[in-house]
Amino acid sequence: MENIKKSRLIDSAKTEVKGFSAMYARLEQKVILGGLSQSTLTNYGRCIAKISLYFHQPAIDLEVEQIDGYLQFLLTSNKQPSKSYFKHTVYGLRYLYRLYDMEDRIIKLPSLKRSNKLPVVLSINECKRLFKSGRILKHRVLLSLVYSAGLRSQEVRKLKWNDIDFDRKRIHIRQSKYNKDRYAPLSEKMIIGLLRYKEAYQPKTYVFNGKKHGDSLSPRGVQWAMKETLKIAGITKEATIHTLRHSFATHLLEMGMDLDTLRSVLGHAHLTTTMIYLHVARIGKSKVFSPFDRIY
């Protein structure tokens, strides 16, 4: 549904803004030839369509003052967009201006500060509660699989049965972030759950089917399963489906896995991305305690 809304926005810009179609066609060609994902094109296209519709001009024809004013409007309006939407707007415009050799525009776009916010992580006991709290088997298996293999939401949604190697106990993740393949571990206990689920639901192609025949589970479907199960489990942390991947990484570090192996398992391009888990994992340090407990 979300992708349909984004597509409609792009279609509206093609119809209402003269010159947008040619600009978007060039953007689309560059994204495809550059090996970027379809989601990148959709996100960039939506943001560029929105600013073009706002001024009734293609984004490449806008003045610097118009761009700055629009970005200020996004940050100060009553209906502030999400951080990811603002980021996609800035990155999408940068990508577009590089495509048209408009380097002067790139310099003047605001730099985005990296967030220093540490990831939310569930404890091992919280994970156990979560995995047994799902109302239906499908949700219990879905959340358990995401955690057990450290999967992203998109990866578990697009996972097919022929990507799971039960004999070698590994999962083939195909063309994920950065268009890279990798292998994720398949837990022996997870095999039992998957086979039980397969017998009960008999899904054909995708491990987790969507509402329509032949479709994979939607992003909203995955998030809903997580949200509802958190409620049942009585877990009040601000957790999302990606929290299970953070928890997977943190628990592996605490159980002794080295950082470089973890980087490979997670599919990170750079070790510095993986190092954030050193800040939340309790390894190689004294246990933090309060002196209040020692004086009594």
Check residues 115 and 37 and name the one with the higher pLDDT: 37
Residues 145 and 263 both lie in one domain: yes
Are 192 and 239 in a shared domain? Answer: yes
User: Is 213 domain-assigned?
Assistant: yes
Per-residue confidence (pLDDT) for residue 290, from 0 to 100: 63
Looking at the domain assignment, is residue 291 inside a domain? no
* Residue 209, strand partner residues: 216
Is residue 63 classed as helix, strand or coil in its secondary structure?
coil
Sign of the dihedral through C-alpha 108, 87, 270, 275: positive
Instruction: Calculate mean pLDDT across residues 177-193.
Output: 88
- Domain range for 40 is 2-108
Residues 136 and 104 in one domain: no
Task: Domain count for the chain, please give it.
Answer: 2
Q: Report, as residue numbers or ranges, the catalytic residues.
A: 152, 177, 242, 245, 268, 277
Q: Is residue 287 part of a domain?
A: no
Average pLDDT, the chain: 88
More confident residue, 4 or 137: 137
Residue 115 phi/psi, 5-degree rounding, is -75, 135
Asked whether residue 220 is domain-assigned, the answer is yes
Contacts of residue 267, defined as CB under 8 A and 6 or more positions apart, other chains included, come to 173, 176, 177, 178, 180, 182
- Would you state the pLDDT for residue 284? 65
Among the three residues 108, 140, 166, which one is the final residue of a domain in this structure? 108
pTM comes to 0.68
In a domain, 216, yes or no: yes
Q: Residue 94's Cα: distance from chain center in Å?
A: 21
Same domain as 141, residue 98 = no
Q: Is the pLDDT of residue 41 over 80?
A: yes
More confident residue, 227 or 286: 227
